Structure 1
Amino acid sequence: MPLFNVQSASSLLKLFFSKPLKHSELRKLWLSTHSSLLGDKNLILMGPPGSGKTSVGRVLGQKLGCPVIDVDDDVLEKNWNMSVSDKLQDVGDEQFLEEEGKALLKFSASGSVISLTGSNPLNARSMEHTRKNGIVVYLDVQAEDIVERLEVMKVDRIVGQKSGASIGDILRKRKHFYKKWHDVRVLCQTGDSIEVLADKVIGAVKRYQNLESETFVSTRCTRSDLNPQKDNIKYFCDAVLEGLSPDGGLYVPEKGLPELTPGEWQRLVKSTYTERAHIILERCIHPADVPPVVLGEIIEKAYGENFACNKVAPVRHLVGNQYVLELFHGPTASFKDLALQFMPHLFAYCIPKMGNYLVLVATSGDTGSAVLDGFSRIDEIDKQRIAVFCLYPENGISPIQKSQILACQGQNGRALGVQSDFDFCQTAIKEMFNDADYTGFLTAEYGTVLSTANSINWARLLPQVIYHASAYLDLVSQGVVPFGSPVDVCIPTGNFGNILAAFYARQMGIPIRKFICASNQNHILTDFIKTGHYDLRGRQLQLSSSPAIDILKSSNLERYLHFISNNDGHLVRELYGQLQNQGHFRLPNNLAQLLRQDLVGDWCSEKDCLAAIHSVYNATGYILDTHTAVAKVVADRVQDRTCPVLISCTAHYSKFAPVILQALGIDDVKQSPLTQLQILDSFKPLPPAHTTLLTTLKQKDRQTREICTADSNIVMGHVESFIQNQFFKAL
């Protein structure tokens, strides 16, 4: 059957909404107009056939008090002097699409609500013409709902549907075009009334037009610090570029993160990781900063073929009610890839197109290689003005991690080993940012601005929210929990970024009950959770087999304290001033109690870590890396077993091969890192060998190596020397 009749389709669509509007309600809507919303712009509704564009458009016209134009009725049929269905029968699909596009090119309007046809977005020229004076709103309806509606309408084919293809197939292909053109997306849920959808459209358009609705503040900023003239207002791209606030604080969204409704989350249960990422990030990043089409392109680059698993971050059952969230399928085999395959492309888009940018990063093991790899994948033209300088503790990471960092150096990346620990590396970077004379000199002499890719940068932390949300949706999809039932998360953490991202996922509506903070012998976070006292005095960092959590100064804790203190920047500034000057701070009792409502902390010894690796492998054939083993030990101790616990598997075990081999009973392994990985592979374990990691370690010729003493001035000299070699001097 050809394209359905528009009028009959519109009436049939009403069957799928809770109830049609009465005349009195329409009259009331007319009186309560939003006419100032559009001005001369058009509101353009886009979506598949059966999505409700015509019906929603009519209600929007009433609400906004403006003309309504249905492209089928008011443009195509008047232009052709025949019905759309007759035209399709006359000329066939390809000719129909061509003539549909030509007709739209002749059409213009202003201040109107326009309902496109389902096939309009397939013609690029006509869409470019139509959206020049409009805001394109994508009514994103689940394919299953569309198919059901079209079946009721007795529609068995739509434009562009080839022989043998189902309507579902063509709808999935068309999604690419809808994502390409929309300015605003409205997630439509089963059972939404036409009025509800119209209100959602208005809300989404209001957000789109309110460019100052989503600003960022420093965790150490109070409202009295904000300039009423708004010359110090910060937006998303500012936070990405600057990384660290000038006052030493970390940027956070002033109004917090948006919350999705349970129905909207349930819409994402059957979605892919990239689809989930697109929806979540669209809500968190204002389109004025990054348009949805650009965001979609970045997401496709970030989570495409560079991940070994097509699920990107799959969830696997371990034992009992414990599940592991596998975060190591990216090119550098750690959870850092989930953010750092995304962030470099975002960074390249957000920064001004003039000037050079040096991304400084400190690593406790995994971040370094992930940053170097991620920024090596940006466009060639961007590599000429964006470079990475990575500091790592020379004796504080595993041999394989070091080999990987050195191998990931490339055209726009360099690593420097420091004879100290991670905390020194992180502090050295903060000192460079806070040294106005030094940063001013780099800008004046080399035209170079400093930024950072550590999780102190909001753009690095935000993508981590996605995999925590996605993991819960996967548990729902697998039937482990019904949507709305809580889960606990157990995360090995030293810098508090990963666990904070899970907390933000809960803010957005994912029902996480408890956040279990797993530490090793450097258990300052565990002690802080239990006592409310953050005390660095007399503590010495102890090197362990889980180096990514060998951290005493947890940067991202500051963001969490800012939240539970009701955004009290004055208090946060005071606490971190005490930490800087006195080496410790103590939370007020009320905040310590709030903290313990969310967080549970415990730590794991080296002996228990190795024992966990051994016992889990014997029981399941699954090899945990050292950090995940720490989390497993802590989860066993503190979970109350009344709900599932998601354990973050933060790295592939291959990165810690000597320790893993020791845990599995093979001592005195002195072979090269590559040989150690081959020995591990002979165990035929789960998960299998990480092939990209093996390939990287074979690249010996790229392993340029520099080491320096723990002196901030010497480090700054190395940074300047790298800039000299990387960028032209400013004239």
Structure 2
Amino acid sequence: MFHLVWNRHLKLMSRIMVSDVYLKLLFARSFALARTTWMSMHSLVGDKNIVLMGPPGAGKTTVGKIVGQKLGSCFIDVDDDVLEKTWNMSVAEKLKDVGNEQFLEEEGKALLNLSTSGNVVSLTGSNPLNTASMEHVKKNGIVVYLDVPSESIIDRLQLMKVDRIVGQGPGTSLRDILQYRKQFYKKWYDVRVLCENGVTADDVAEKVLHAVKRYQDSYSDGFISTRSLRCNKDEQKSSIKYFSDVVVEGLAPDGGLFVPEIGLPKFTPGEWQHLLAATYAERAQIILERCIHPTDVPASKLWEIIETAYGQNFTCSKIAPVRHLAGNQFLLELFHGPTASFKDLALQLMPQLFAYCVPKSCNYLILVATSGDTGSAVLDGFSRLKEADKQRIAVITFFPQDGISQIQKSQMIGYQEGNTKVVGVKSDFDFCQSAIKQMFTNSDYTGFLTVEYGAALSAANSINWARLLPQVVYHASAYLNLVEQDIISFGSPVDVCIPTGNFGNILAAIYAKMMGIPIRKFICASNQNNVLTEFIKTGLYDIKGRKLMKSLSPAVDILKSSNLERHLHLIANGDGQLVMQLFSSLENQHYFQLQRHFLEKLQQDLVADWCSEEECLDAIRSVFNTTGYILDTHTAVAKVVADRLQDKTCPVIISSTAHYSKFAPAILQALRIGEIKQTPLSQLHLLNSYNPLPPVHRGLLETLKKNEKQNYQVCAADVKVLMEHVEALIQNHFMKVF
């Protein structure tokens, strides 16, 4: 490549009569250009091979040749350049001669003889079935998986008149063997390239180069604090945080929240449509591997974590199904997890990521503030870790003693084991959340815990990026479900309506739009603690003298919205100084006013309203009377606001964030059932007698039977007292450092 560019410039200079000075200048520039072009391409490959993997018909050979040409590297086709030269016969002849099993064995042995570096290699479709040969290839190669839809592969093979591939026996369809092989492709690839329908080989080659470049450059996936000041590139590189760092640390040292420095990746419409036939776990894998650098969590490990999170833990196989409610309103059911709330979608995954990312030699205490649902979801998620991980990871949950439902309380206290503790606080959620932030930013306290007990603090609230990121998946998946069900075509807009107090759930939907999901309007639904609604309408965030009011929807009883900080950082184009000023004002003066041009930007696709207690109960009763379906109190808030704000020109997806069983007294009140029995268990049995849709949550019934008489500690609203509880758990669980 270098010599070709150089020769072209020599010929050009020989034809042009210019002064000696200009000739020398042009010569120098030409040499620099040629050298830079060659060096940049060579540095991408280095001494590593780019190894293309995928099913037969995926285009590995065609794409490999193009990639080789672009890099000025040799292209090696394993079929032609390794197997046939080793066997002195064609692959088809060999397969016919020895049969499937022996073919795979001999194919693997032949690949062990491949010794090359800095080149582009195209594997056979069956190479990944041989462990030894793939381990050999990976030692000196970056394995790129060309992920082509099975339908496209079948069509291509039919055009090529291929009616049988390696491993396919009598009675086995081509579709079955392609599905069988996917488990092996998932095991070996370093990066995946989605090859959507209609994409050209040149386009795929560019995608391969982009994916390899990202793999080689971990700086591209760095994180910054929402309050970080702009600095030069050298300073940025020295202070950069990676995914594993932000998972472990939770909150940034300056009190801000971590966000990706260059934003979120964007999928093309074709790539999204590639996911239509995928399971929820497969969608999660593809979305998250674009957001998590493979040097932090390799693709094969990420798949193992996702399978653990979404394997047998959910009562619905679709994990987060979309149900038609009425008219053009659809419910995104997010309550099929073990603790019956949307928090499970992230908190079955996040603990597994956390355990993988934390240093094995350190002890970590997870601090949790909960307004109801987060606590039990965190405790359940971390209770599923391996025993070795439990020994070095503990969890303490603080909740407002009188600010959550009795069933939510019963859920949490049932998880108290050796490495977990639950504490009721005589205050509200905002105090619990603020106390945790104070502990994180108290360097004397955190330093003492590290020195004295070898323990560090982390967070599992949605201030932790690994808690927020998985929520993007279900918003994207909900849209894809509507497309898959032929309710809309891809590209048609939808609105989403989300009950929220901490802004995390709705922010995840905003991120889904940034990644390419066609969401038109985000409808923020508040209850009587409507500080978010007022802010979105006026730009004034004012909590001076404002008291938190207890409501029927306690999970959104929040006045200080943590994740709003991330959204303001986004609309302020990453101005960390402005974000710091706004939230310092909120902390010290208890209010801030957003400038008009930022407010206009905020309101471009975000609207808000709130729902009274009476309206909430009326909505539950009305929906049940007309459809037989029971909304929980939070979903009812969203339903009321959606009815008020949606313009009915497109579907609206309402996030159903919890199962109604968690709020049985309010549901019984809404349905005007005369006798409301006292114990949570009897309340659920009473509801169950009405044959509701969906049925009463079985997991909650079992939890209540088990936890009716469990005890827990209650403390005063004093940060020092909370710190004492933290230290006590650390003392009891982790070995003291002498």
TM range (shorter): over 0.9
Q: CA deviation at 1:83?
A: 1.3
SS state at 1:347 partner: helix
Q: Which residue of 1 aligns with 2:135?
A: 128
Contact 1:520 1:546 in 2 (8 A): yes
Q: CA deviation at 1:410?
A: 2.8
Deviations 1:590-620 (A, max 9, x none): 1111111121111111111011000000100
The letter for the 2-side match of 1:412 is: N
SS state at 1:721 partner: helix
Q: Which residue of 1 aligns with 2:163?
A: 156
The letter for the 2-side match of 1:433 is: F
Q: Which residue of 1 aligns with 2:433?
A: 426
Matches within 5 A, 1:311-322: 311-322=318-329
Q: Which residue of 2 aligns with 1:578?
A: 585
Q: Which residue of 1 aligns with 2:71?
A: 64
The letter for the 2-side match of 1:213 is: S
Q: Which residue of 2 aligns with 1:728?
A: 735
Q: Distance in 1 between matches of 2:256 and 2:285?
A: 28
Deviations 1:406-448 (A, max 9, x none): 1123342211111111011101100110111111110001100
Deviations 1:301-335 (A, max 9, x none): 11111011111000000000000000000000000
Q: Which residue of 1 aligns with 2:121?
A: 114
Q: Distance in 1 between matches of 2:427 and 2:177?
A: 58
Gaps of 5+ in 2: 1-33
SS state at 2:614 partner: helix
TM-score (norm 2): 0.94
Q: Once structures 1 and 2 are overlaid, which stretch shifts more, 427-436 or 696-705?
A: 696-705
Matches within 5 A, 1:97-496: 97-224=104-231, 228=235, 230-496=237-503
The letter for the 2-side match of 1:347 is: F
Q: Which residue of 2 aligns with 1:597?
A: 604
Matches within 5 A, 1:25-36: 34-36=41-43
Pair 702,297 (structure 1): closer, same or farther in 2 beyond 3 Å? farther
SS state at 1:514 partner: strand
Contact 1:493 1:518 in 2 (8 A): yes
Are 1:654 and 2:655 an aligned pair?
no
Are 1:78 and 2:93 an aligned pair?
no
Q: CA deviation at 1:539?
A: 0.8
Contact 2:54 2:185 in 1 (8 A): yes
Pair 390,321 (structure 1): closer, same or farther in 2 beyond 3 Å? same
Contact 1:30 1:62 in 2 (8 A): no
Q: Distance in 1 between matches of 2:233 and 2:549?
A: 41
Contact 2:410 2:708 in 1 (8 A): no
Out of 627, 633, 639, the position equivalent to 1:626 is 633
The letter for the 2-side match of 1:526 is: T
Out of 707, 717, 723, the position equivalent to 1:700 is 707
Out of 673, 676, 681, the position equivalent to 1:674 is 681
Q: Which residue of 2 aligns with 1:719?
A: 726
Contact 1:185 1:204 in 2 (8 A): yes
Q: Distance in 1 between matches of 2:459 and 2:217?
A: 29
Q: Distance in 2 between matches of 1:60 and 1:263?
A: 22
Are 1:48 and 2:55 an aligned pair?
yes
The letter for the 2-side match of 1:607 is: E
Pair 295,249 (structure 1): closer, same or farther in 2 beyond 3 Å? same
Q: CA deviation at 1:668?
A: 4.5
SS state at 1:40 partner: coil
Contact 1:215 1:233 in 2 (8 A): yes
Q: CA deviation at 1:536?
A: 0.4
Q: Distance in 1 between matches of 2:544 and 2:43?
A: 60
Matches within 5 A, 1:479-558: 479-558=486-565
Pair 132,427 (structure 1): closer, same or farther in 2 beyond 3 Å? same
Gaps of 5+ in 1: 1-28
Pair 716,67 (structure 1): closer, same or farther in 2 beyond 3 Å? same
Paired positions, count? 703
Pair 229,676 (structure 1): closer, same or farther in 2 beyond 3 Å? closer
The letter for the 1-side match of 2:467 is: R
Q: Distance in 2 between matches of 1:667 and 1:222?
A: 59
Q: CA deviation at 1:192?
A: 1.6
Q: Which residue of 1 aligns with 2:95?
A: 88
The letter for the 2-side match of 1:257 is: L
Q: Which residue of 2 aligns with 1:640?
A: 647
Off by >6 Å, runs of 4+ in structure 1: 29-32
Pair 88,30 (structure 1): closer, same or farther in 2 beyond 3 Å? farther
SS state at 1:240 partner: helix
SS state at 1:48 partner: coil
Q: CA deviation at 1:75?
A: 1.1
Deviations 1:613-634 (A, max 9, x none): 0000010011000000000000
Matches within 5 A, 1:13-32: none
Q: Once structures 1 and 2 are overlaid, which stretch shifts more, 691-700 or 131-140?
A: 691-700
Out of 530, 552, 560, the position equivalent to 2:567 is 560
Are 1:664 and 2:674 an aligned pair?
no
Deviations 1:454-473 (A, max 9, x none): 00000100000000000001
Contact 1:226 1:232 in 2 (8 A): no
Contact 1:121 1:127 in 2 (8 A): yes
Contact 2:411 2:707 in 1 (8 A): no
SS state at 2:224 partner: strand
Q: Distance in 1 between matches of 2:183 and 2:106?
A: 22
Out of 38, 44, 61, the position equivalent to 2:45 is 38
Q: CA deviation at 1:449?
A: 0.3
Contact 2:219 2:237 in 1 (8 A): no
Q: Once structures 1 and 2 are overlaid, which stretch shifts more, 407-416 or 575-584?
A: 407-416
The letter for the 1-side match of 2:252 is: S
TM-score (norm 1): 0.94
Q: Once structures 1 and 2 are overlaid, which stretch shifts more, 687-696 or 622-631?
A: 687-696
Q: Distance in 2 between matches of 1:604 and 1:57?
A: 58
SS state at 2:695 partner: coil
Q: Once structures 1 and 2 are overlaid, which stretch shifts more, 470-479 or 56-65?
A: 56-65
Contact 1:657 1:677 in 2 (8 A): yes
Deviations 1:611-667 (A, max 9, x none): 100000010011000000000000001111111000000000000011101111114
Percent identity, aligned pairs only?
68
The letter for the 1-side match of 2:329 is: Q
Deviations 1:466-524 (A, max 9, x none): 00000001011111111111100000000000000000000000011111000000000
Contact 2:472 2:509 in 1 (8 A): yes
Q: Which residue of 1 aligns with 2:3?
A: none
The letter for the 2-side match of 1:497 is: G
Contact 1:532 1:587 in 2 (8 A): yes
Pair 224,39 (structure 1): closer, same or farther in 2 beyond 3 Å? closer
The letter for the 1-side match of 2:322 is: V
Q: Distance in 1 between matches of 2:117 and 2:624?
A: 66
Q: Distance in 1 between matches of 2:644 and 2:717?
A: 38
Q: CA deviation at 1:228?
A: 2.0
Q: Distance in 2 between matches of 1:532 and 1:702?
A: 47
